[in-house]
Structure 1
Amino acid sequence: MTDTRTTPKKASDLFVECLESEGVEYVFGVPGEENLDLLESLSDSSIKLVLTRHEQGAGFMAATYGRHTGKTGVFMATLGPGATNMVTAVAYSQLGGMPTLAITGQKPIKHSKQGRFQILDVVDMMQPITKFAHQLHSGDNIPSRVREAFRLAEEEKPGATHLELPEDIAAEESTARPIPASVARRPSAEPKAVRQAVEAIEAAKSPVLVIAAGANRRMTSNMLNEFVEKTGIPFVTTQMGKGVLDERHPLFLGCAALSSGDFCHRAIEDADLVINVGHDVIEKPPFFMTDAFEGDARGKTSKVIHISNNTAEVDPVYFPQIEVIGDIANAIWQIKEAVTPQDAWDFKRLLCYRDAEIKHSDPLESDDRFPIFPPHLVRQIRQTMPDDGIICLDNGVYKIWFARNYTAHLPNTVLLDNALATMGAGLPSAMMSAMLYPERRVMAICGDGGFMMNSQEMETAVRLGLNLTVLILRDDAYGMIRWKQANMGFDDYGLTFGNPDFVKYAESYGAHGHRITSSEHLADVLAKTGEAKGVHLIDCPVDYSENDRILNHDIKKLSAKL
């Protein structure tokens, strides 16, 4: 009998065997000739290849897989232009804390006869935007390098890793075998730090909880819910912390979607203790540690407790006084078990800010003008989406409206990017969500600018047989930058463009196209597409004319009066 443990196999087969050992389900990508050995090995594996129309789309899908599952999403490309096309998606997963492995091909490194044709130092290019980047020099080293890439991708803070597999290394033989993952547990927070946090919470008069991106992990949601129910401490979320707790909760104070001056920002400023859970300075800060935190005109000072897997990165506006470092869910559990709710706590003023925000938002959300008014659009989408429905936002000014006004009911049901904040990710993210959760309703919400950056993935969505709604908010401009331009007092210049007929564009891919003509029509189309199979694109004109007045002026004036 042949001993398979010592039988040589092609290195690309070994590479795929290592991926299978890590539990990889999909590899997304656009292969090139330098990947053909790997492609052949994948064809005989349990892993499904998802061929996309651009490497960026493959990377966004892999990152979204990582975000939903906590497991590493894998995507591949060839050398040179294929690798450079990956870069935005690699940075997206690195900054956003989504575990991924990017695999690139390369010309033979031992006996190449093509000079410098298409040659870039891809590993050197990837190193600043990954946790780990490595060129494989030997088939025998594949198991250890693959295991290391997966370990680092999933270790807190999760992020991007990269492996380059040259043609000649992929074709050589090896007797090596996959290395199984070890059983590892994240360390628990130090009891003395927990005690300090508990004492600070009990001594406070009006503490507030801020839930950020790092809290968006399994188990953390349950622990935070128990903490809020026991203590009655109200909470704010950052954009990437949306949905960790159900935002219909009476203690929800809002999402810190604007930079400052919103109602929830005023609540944080009035609190004398901020319990900041999972904060990452990669996000726009939900509060600034100046003024009230250093002592305001009334002599009031505030403190910040930093609860996270990692120590706080010192920043000009963020320098917490107490740090509780370790597994976040465990840290919250320890604090929850030890803390005693205090009769002296008073949250009336904090809660009044949320009441004022709702009072301000209600008439805006009821405005059914056409083209569609953004707050009204958000209300319509929320009304049509089930509790577990998933919306995947591209980047644009509408992201602010959805972050502020769309109440998330469950974790990872509002996928937006407040780290790299790239355009073009909405459609691929929704495609991945629809693949993972075919029984749930999924909607990509894109501006016309962001949609056109990866619109070719409509073909991929149709080919995969996905059930998906793609809502395009059309203003024929780069709306967010136009909003900023207006706020800075500059002339309206250089930010408008033309668009294709989106209905015909969708139909050309084999999808279904719909063009909105009124608010009532939007409600009808949303209801019908929610029940229908297949890929549906909705061309929805939007009215952004009041963005500057409402977001930059009205909200700040109203909140300052409270």
Structure 2
Amino acid sequence: MATTSGFKRKTSDVMVAALENEKVEYIFGIPGEENLDLLNSLRDSKIKLVVTRHEQAAGFMAATVGRLTAKAGVCLSTLGPGATNFATSAAYAQLAGFPMMMITGQKPIRKSKQGSFQIVEIVEFMRPLTKFTKQIVDGDLVPSLVREAIRTAEEERPGAVHLELPEDIAETHTDAQSFPVYPVRRPIAEGKAIAKAIEMIHAATHPLLLIGAGANRKRTANMLQQFVNELKIPFFTTQMGKGVISDDHPLCLGCAALSSNDFVHVCIEKADLIINIGHDVVEKPPFIMQIGKPPYVIHVNFYTAKVDTVYFPQHEVVGDIANSVWQLKEGLNSQVHWDYSFMFKVKNTLEEHLLKGSDDNRFPLMPQRIVADLRKQMPSDGVACLDNGMYKIWFARCYKAYEPNTLLLDNALATMGAGLPSAIAVAILYPEKKVVAVCGDGGFLMNSQEMETAVRLNLNLTVLVLNDNAYGMIKWKQNVAGFPKFGLDLMNPDFVAYANSYGAKGYRATSSADYSQILHDCLYHVKGVKLVEVPVDYSWANEILDHELPHMVKQLRSESEAGTGISSALANSAPPIQTGYE
């Protein structure tokens, strides 16, 4: 427990000291009058306060810090409306598994002369959106509550936590001291579970590796690289698993950017066993399981599977993922009956397909050209931060991520408005890296006010605004569903003038060649915050998704060997259904 020294400090000072003890470097947010004691305590702290223009954006920035560092990012708001503005970013962190801590203010709880003015039960409001939420009612409890909140946010599965610090508690005095922070080793998988998984993999004919968001940890990525290189088992990724192993690895079959009807799904259907590393059903499913049909699935994760109608793994290996992958690697040997000839044929067809449109000169630009030019210009460690929109599918399919966390997209909450704030957080953490926010016109304008934050902080980043004057993703879905066009077209501002008004530098691409040149200049010659408006036309790209792609996939399926299914050896090696405790 925390030790006492007899020297009393303001609770707000103790709160800041506890955050410093947790190695917090930044707090993002908008203070209010209920935070004034905490704000004053931060004034002489090593922690840097980043004042934003909206609490939602502050939450996205904090979540991105958590995503990139595995240490809880912290954000701050006042009571009531400031705190409720955290809702979307709390859900963003919670669903995607990003460690984030929210601190909100509140009116005095012991005696208040303002009645119920601005009062919302924020602790209860946050309960379904967080792993942990608590009101601080005593300054003596601050060190233990901060330690518990941060620990909870960071332990697997990571997520959002919340502490509410009332105004009158913040100004009280306490002699509480911060707790020492000790590392905790995660439990490892049981030997029997590892042995059964090895038996199933050896018995399979076409085993495949699936890499999901939970595998995006440094130790896990290193171990997976060894696993793939030694055993020569091909892999595919979810959208949030891109880059854990480089997309240009010869055994990479691509990203399951769509839930079905893509090239990688032909390989999935050919497989009789999927070794699922770090994916769960919170991220949109990369494939849909069907009862009685291949493939079998081995769930390898920090926690047990959440069973769903689309996901019900036949075996689970629960424990530290890196250690589980190491144990599997040590017990496995490449099998002569493993056959990937058809899958590599599909991979070659996919690689040819993904080049289509990458050098197309039509204007407005096709998304494939936008993606291809950005990939050519960006260094391998450059970071592209996606908002959410139609272009996300094309980036997931076509943009090769060569290193972990170099393509930041969200396929859990999949909210609009997170692209620019995420890029700001990356630029703050890694000022030496090339950072690009990729936003649709709809998503950009949801948090475009943070352009001022980026300019004020003298950041170096580029914002691509892909403008189709519509909510393009929903417009595509509306068309596929056979509904008439309605309710999705927009009228936008002059984005160049808009950027200039913040003190950023605005550009508008007028041709494909112009786009390439502007992009190069913004990345390598022009310093500061740049915005590039890129007119985009999804119509031909959507035709590929709606008509050409299904036809090509159908043809590949017809070329697959007949009789693909679960071999008797694999079926016999699968664990029997248990009906109680052993």
Decide: shared fold, TM above 0.5: yes
Q: Distance in 2 between matches of 1:183 and 1:358?
A: 44
CA distance in structure 1 between the partners assigned to 2:504 and 2:198 by the alignment = 55
Counterpart CA distance in 2 for 1:242 and 1:430 is 18
Distance 1:94 1:310, change over 3 A: same
Q: Aligned AA for 2:411?
A: N
Confirm or deny: 8 A CA contact 1:246 1:408 kept in the other structure: yes
Corresponding position of 1:541:
535
Aligned to 1:513: 506
The alpha-carbon deviation at position 211 of structure 1 amounts to 0.4
Could you report, residue by residue, the CA deviation over 1:192-236 in whole angstroms, capped at 9, with x for unpaired residues? 111111111111111110000110112111111100001111111
Work out the CA distance in 1 between the residues paired with 2:382 and 2:497.
Answer: 27
Q: How far is the alpha carbon of 1:352 from its aligned partner? A: 1.6
1:248-302 deviation digits (Å, cap 9, x = unpaired): 0111111111121110011111101100000110111111111xx613xxxxx43
Distance in 2 between residues matched to 1:210 and 1:117, nearest whole Å: 51
Match of 1:483 in 2: 476
Could you tell me whether the CA contact under 8 Å between 1:486 and 1:548 is conserved in 2? no
For the 8 Å contact 2:245–2:402, the answer to whether it is kept is yes
Which of the numbers 285, 298, 304 marks the counterpart of 2:297? 304
One-letter code aligned to 1:376: R
Identity %: 59
Match of 2:567 in 1: none
CA distance in 2, matches of 1:353, 1:118: 59
Pairing partner for 1:448 from 425, 441, 446: 441
> Distance between the aligned counterparts of 1:135 and 1:147, measured in 2?
14
- Output the amino acid matched with 1:6: G
Q: Give secondary structure in 2 for the equivalent of 1:372.
A: coil
- The aligned counterpart of 1:127 is 127
How large is the RMSD of aligned CA atoms in angstroms?
1.1
Distance 2:368 2:80 in 1: 44
* Cross-structure match for 2:550: 556
Q: Map Cα deviations across residues 303-340 of structure 1 (whole Å, 9 max, x no partner).
A: 11110000000101111111111000110011011101
Cα deviation 1:78-119 (Å, max 9, x = unaligned): 001001111111110111100010000000000001011000
Match of 2:575 in 1: none
Partner of 1:152: 152
1:298 alignment partner in structure 2: none
Cross-structure match for 2:77: 77
Instruction: Check whether the contact 2:4–2:176 (CA below 8 A) recurs between aligned residues.
Output: no
Q: Does 1:173 align with 2:173?
A: yes
How far apart are 1:365 and its partner, in Å?
Answer: 1.7
Counterpart pick for 1:383 among 376, 385, 388: 376
- The code of the aligned residue for 1:560 comes to K
Contact 2:366 2:541 in 1 (8 A): no
Deviation at 1:557, TM superposition (A): 1.7
Structure 1 consecutive aligned stretches of length 4 or more whose deviation exceeds 3 Å: none
Q: How does 1:103-114 map to 2 (within 5 A)?
A: 103-114=103-114
How far did 1:364 drift?
Answer: 2.1
Kept in 2: contact 1:487–1:548 (CA 8 A) = no
Return the letter of the residue paired with 2:545: L
1:244-263 → structure 2 map (5 Å cutoff): 244-263=244-263
Amino acid in structure 2 at the alignment position of 1:440: K
SS across alignment from 1:391: strand
- How far the C-alpha of 1:354 sits from its partner, in A, is 1.6
Deviations 1:475-533 (A, max 9, x none): 01000000100101111111111111111111111100111001101110111111121
Cα deviation for residue 547 of structure 1 reads: 3.9
Deviations 1:106-162, CA, capped at 9 Å, x for gaps? 000000010110000000000001000000000001111111000000000000000
CA 1:273–1:505 in structure 2 vs 1: closer, same or farther (change >3 Å)?
A: same
Question: SS in structure 2 opposite 1:376?
Answer: helix
TM-score, normalised with respect to structure 1: 0.97
Q: Which residue of 1 aligns with 2:317?
A: 324
Task: Identify which of 419, 424, 432 aligns with 1:439.
Answer: 432
Report the AA paired with residue 282 of structure 1. V
Work out the CA distance in 2 between the residues paired with 1:139 and 1:390. 41
Superposed displacement of residue 5, structure 1: 1.5
Corresponding position of 2:340? 347
Q: Counterpart in 2 of 1:294?
A: 292
One-letter code aligned to 1:546: W
Aligned partner letter, 2:146: V
- Counterpart AA for 2:513: E
SS at match of 2:218: coil
Q: Measure, in 1, the Cα distance between the counterparts of 2:445 and 2:67.
A: 24
2-structure distance, mates of 1:68, 1:220: 15
Retained in 1: the 8 A contact 2:356–2:368? no
Cα separation, 2, equivalents of 1:256 and 1:23: 37
Q: Please give the alpha-carbon distance, in whole angstroms, between the structure 1 residues aligned to 2:401 and 2:542.
A: 25
1:31 CA drift (Å): 0.5
Of 175-184 and 473-482, deviating more is 175-184
Partner Cα distance (2:218, 2:165) in 1: 33
Secondary structure of 1:492 counterpart: coil
**Contact 1:294–1:302 (CA under 8 A) maintained in structure 2:** no
SS of the residue aligned with 1:116? coil
**8 Å Cα contact 1:483/1:547 also seen in 2:** no
Q: Once the 2 structures are TM-superposed, how far is the Cα of residue 181 of structure 1 from its aligned partner?
A: 1.7
**How high is the TM-score relative to the length of structure 2?**
0.94
What is the 5 A alignment of 1:404-443?
A: 404-443=397-436
Which amino acid letter does the alignment assign opposite residue 52 of structure 2? T
- Check if 1:474 corresponds to 2:472: no
Counterpart Cα distance in 2 of 1:238 and 1:189 = 23
Offset at residue 366 of structure 1 (A)? 2.3
SS in 1 for 2:356: helix
Which residue number in structure 2 is paired with residue 59 of structure 1?
59
- The letter of the residue matching 1:78 is T
Could you tell me which residue of structure 2 aligns to residue 201 of structure 1?
201
CA distance in 2: counterparts of 1:4 and 1:354, whole angstroms: 63
Report the more deviating stretch, 131-140 or 279-288. Answer: 279-288
- SS of 2:297's partner is strand
Contact 1:353 1:559 in 2 (8 A): no
Quote the residue 2:101 is aligned against: 101
Q: Distance in 1 between matches of 2:414 and 2:443?
A: 11
Q: Which amino acid aligns with 1:421?
A: A
